[in-house]
Amino acid sequence: MAERGYMGIPREKIPWFPTIDEEKCINCGSCLDFCSNNVLEESEITMKVINPYNCVVGCSSCMKVCDYEAITFPSKDELIKWLYELRKSRDT
């Protein structure tokens, strides 16, 4: 199986995935219904991130469908910085 990557960087090196605030999450399932990449799973109380590296790099759409603001992502500026540094280290 080919290694998954983004811009020539192994996906597992890019820390881009959602974080669920368990205090805010009411387990409504909106994010689970939206995301088709098997990133999330319903548990008894809140949603859980089970496959973080299945998340599409740069996508934060599940955060936008959450009416309870329970999902966060790193900033896009952080993502750009990570990608720049990872590509630079790959090229040296």
Q: Which domains are present in the chain? A: 16-87 (3.30.70.20)
The DSSP secondary structure of 13-32, one letter per residue, reads: GS----EE-TTT-----HHH
The DSSP secondary structure of 29-52, one letter per residue, reads: -HHHHH--SS-EEE-SSSEEES-G
**Which pLDDT score is estimated for 67?**
97
pTM strictly above 0.75: yes
pLDDT digit string (tens) for the chain, length 92 residues? 456 889 889 999 999 999 999 999 999 999 999 999 999 999 999 999 999 999 999 999 999 999 999 999 999 999 999 999 999 887 65
